[in-house]
Structure 1
Amino acid sequence: MASPPSSARPARIVVLVSGSGTNLQALLDAIAADPDGFGARIVAVGADRDDITGLERATRAGLPTFVCKVTDYGSRAEWDAALAEAVSAYEPDLVVSAGFMKIVGQEFLARFGGRTVNTHPALLPSFPGAHGVRDALAYGAKVTGCTVHFVDDGVDTGPIIAQGVVEVRDEDDEAALHERIKEVERTLLVEVVGRLARDGYRIEGRKVHVGE
């Protein structure tokens, strides 16, 4: 699977959020700092609920927003199809799951598989799932970190694009460790999205080749 960059225009990105939107803000700041050189622009922000700071950040940035709540649909499959349709309306080259706390399904992946980027607060394949930071601490890991990967039909099982390492300190609790991971995660996500947009990429099995 390959996705070459477009020399004619910046890559179009839809960002999905579920909470405070700090990863979204990092992307907004990076694009604003170098709008011509970054290689991408955010064209819309979507969410799975409407009472979150992430949507407020998008509105302040002048971006269109949309909300797809699971509870508004009769089944998870209907919600997934509605989310895919809402994202499709903005014709994105990439979709960035920036703290989006819902697992997408078959319809979404049929349209955006190999184009949806996610972050995870652990060094995959270790400690997947919702409690990666807590699980790393409980296991006694000496280093952990964050992973930027493409989304597939598993839980944190998609091809890995990049990883950042964070040391686990003796005095760490979950909150302190997670905060340090988030700092690395924001920087890594911005770097990865920019590189994917500017240089293109291809996915061969489990390996992601950027700009090759």
Structure 2
Amino acid sequence: MGKIKRVVFLASGRGSNFTASVEYIRKKKLKIDLVALVTDNPEAKALGIAKSFGIPTKVIPYATYSQKADYHRDLLQIVEGLEPDLVVACGYMRILKPEFVRLFKNKIINVHPSLLPAFPGLDSQKQALDYGVKVAGCTVHFVEEGVDTGPIILQKAIAIAPEWTEKELSLAILAEEHKILPLAIQLFCEDKLKIKERKVEILK
């Protein structure tokens, strides 16, 4: 294992995956440097959570930018200045621009509430119920320039109960996200992920 990896989180909302990841890292006493939480939303609950953990925060308020290109430029500059080895998008509701993805190639991971490549984009749980699938789940994947594309690191499948509402399915999936995202962070930071074309090999 090489140097201690520097991890930056991107979040827009409640921060439950952020919370699960930090708690996992600290419980297991993993040698990972939790550099900062960066958010586009000054009202994000994730901000208070980060402060309770003693993790620095950066707010780039998306709504205040009349030119959205300026927001993406500032995001790129701020995250680059933090010198991350890994960028974790957990409930971050903006599509990262190609310039950002290229700068941090194979260093950005995202958690998505479906078994990709099925049901990318927004409202994945509703898409799954509307389609009538019997199995749903979640995916942690590397981020590339497409939406919810990129090599898959980990997935977890769950059976859908016939009576489940969208909210019930979402909560069931979220519980699994809280398990596989922290594990993916650990695997990355321990240099146990190897990308070969579209496939991710997990090293022993």
Shorter-chain TM-score: what band?
A: over 0.9
AA at the equivalent of 2:97: G
AA at the equivalent of 2:27: A
1:107-144 alpha-carbon deviations (Å, 9 max, x no partner): 21121121100011010001111011000000000001
Indicate conservation of the 8 Å contact 1:39/1:198, yes or no: no
CA distance in 2, matches of 1:194, 1:41: 12
Is 1:123 aligned with 2:115? yes
Counterpart residue number, 1:73: 65
Please state how far the C-alpha of 1:73 moved relative to its aligned partner: 3.3
Greater relative contact order structure (CA < 8 Å, 6+ sep): 1
**Moved >4 Å (runs of 4+):** none
TM-score scaled by length of structure 2: 0.95
Unaligned runs of 5+ in 2: none
What is the Cα-based RMSD across aligned positions, in Å? 1.4
Counterpart residue number, 2:156: 164
Indicate conservation of the 8 Å contact 2:25/2:182, yes or no: no
Counterpart residue number, 2:35: 43
TM-score scaled by length of structure 1: 0.91
Cα 1:72/1:113, change in 2 over 3 Å: farther
CA distance in 2, matches of 1:90, 1:145: 32
Question: Which aligned pairs between 1:18-29 and structure 2 lie closer than 5 A?
Answer: 18-29=12-23
AA at the equivalent of 2:7: I
Indicate conservation of the 8 Å contact 1:196/1:210, yes or no: no
CA distance in 2, matches of 1:204, 1:39: 26
Is 1:15 aligned with 2:9? yes
Identity of aligned residues (%): 37
Unaligned runs of 5+ in 1: none
Question: Which aligned pairs between 1:30-179 and structure 2 lie closer than 5 A?
Answer: 30-35=24-29, 38-179=30-171
Please state how far the C-alpha of 1:150 moved relative to its aligned partner: 0.8
Please state how far the C-alpha of 1:74 moved relative to its aligned partner: 4.3
Cα 1:121/1:156, change in 2 over 3 Å: same
Please state how far the C-alpha of 1:87 moved relative to its aligned partner: 0.9
CA distance in 1, matches of 2:48, 2:92: 15
